[in-house]
Amino acid sequence: MGVILKYVVAGLLRYWLINLDYWQTIANRVEIATPLNSWKRLIEGVYLYDHNINPYEGDSFHESPIMLVFFYYIMKKVPFILPVLFTFLDLLTAHLLYKTSKAFIRILKESQEKQLAEVADESKPMLLDDAQLKESAEYVLSVYLFNPYSVLNCAGMTTTVIQNLLVATALWGASSGQRIVACVFIALATHQALYPVLLIVPIALILAEVNKGCTKCSYIRTLLVFVLSWGFLIYLSAYIMDGSYKYVYNTYGFILTVPDLKPNIGLFWYFFTEMFEHFRVLFVCAFQINALALYVIPLTLRFKKDPILLATVLIALSSIFRSYPCVGDVGFYLALLPMWKHLFTFMQQKFIVGCTFIITSALGPTVWHLWIYSGSANANFFFGVTLSFATAQIFLITDLLFAYIKREFTLKHGSSRQVDGKPAKLVLR
């Protein structure tokens, strides 16, 4: 299928689903919509703002003021373009990921050429050629365009579509060496959902590698542009809300304190439903440290020479451990995995992870119906499915990292293994 035909088919599919009679059902699914990205809550926030009521006074609206004003003017002036707008933005995200993957693949090839002298003779057939690299970029495009998670995320008209676009633009800016574009768009994504702040680390590493200047100076400039951009967005949001910073509690505060325990595909809601109130602060801090800070330093120290893999893994981990995840977050990082197609032969859990994804994706809606509508199941059933889904994602990421290390070791030392003169097998535990 040609590239243009892929865009046309994927666009028509998304537009058809948005105009389907079952659209409300899709838009309100707990796997798709959360208190942060729900189209229903966005409409309510715009309605309150239109009637001169502060939407952040209550507990229904948690998007940033910039997003509020953006959709306010669209709904007032041209509401009929919303289905086309969401479809176009999602296709634009796919295109940016396609361009980004091509740039990333070029970086991978340059890195491979630099390390050619360290590669063992028997491992040289494992080196990537141009055909494999080009094929990976096309897989990235196809996976995003036709992944059910991404398609349903767009069909539900969630604001995660905007977040994915912002992150994709930031990655494209970093891979192209455009520091201002990368920093401004990752600041916009952070302002909307907070967790993309993790990506400033791999973005700084990528920019330093692409621009090939003073490494420390590049890091400082990247961090400075990001902080200034984020600070300006916070100020701009306060200006929109008539100089008030009260919106911060209902945006960042809502994400960090997790007051809404409506079920979703994450791990927070069930745990804090069962948690004694006087332990809540301790475990909220523990969960958020796990999501925001725990993995950044060790992963950066180990994979600083491959910031593209670092970015992919951090996006995946934040999608798994954030307080209000949805399938749109999962679909985004799954689209990046084909860049690492050359690692798949070193992965050991592909079949288990694939089966778990399929089974949990089918069981989730089924168990939800049994719990909420039939009354023949309970919260434990649904949480069991979401826990299995999160476990499969963790297996996927750890397997990818182990595969990278195994391939790196094999390239340097060759594929043959002998211990005491007998064939041996390399196993990472």
- 61 domain-assigned: yes
Domain interval for residue 393: 3-414
Burial bucket for residue 191 (CB in 10 Å: 0-12, 13-18, 19+): buried
- 162 domain-assigned: yes
- 422 domain-assigned: no
| CB-CB contact of 323 with 288 (8 Å) | yes
β-strand 418-419 against 422-423: which pairing, if any? Answer: antiparallel
- 291 domain-assigned: yes
Report pLDDT for 85.
96
Report pLDDT for 205.
93
Give CA separation, 332 vs 51, 83, 152, 163, 329, in Å.
36, 20, 12, 10, 5
Report pLDDT for 274.
80
Q: What is the mean pLDDT of each run of 10 residues along the chain (429 residues)?
A: 87 94 90 93 93 88 94 92 95 95 84 71 70 82 94 95 96 93 96 94 92 82 95 95 90 93 91 84 92 91 90 94 94 93 88 94 93 88 94 95 88 65 59
- 194 domain-assigned: yes
pTM for the full predicted model: 0.93
Report pLDDT for 423.
61
Q: Residue 228: what residue type? A: L
Q: How many domains does the chain have?
A: 1
Q: Which residues contact 255 (CB under 8 A, 6 or more apart)?
A: 36, 62, 193, 194, 195, 322, 323, 324
- 261 domain-assigned: yes
Report pLDDT for 408.
84
- 419 domain-assigned: no
- 420 domain-assigned: no
Report pLDDT for 381.
92
Burial bucket for residue 73 (CB in 10 Å: 0-12, 13-18, 19+): exposed
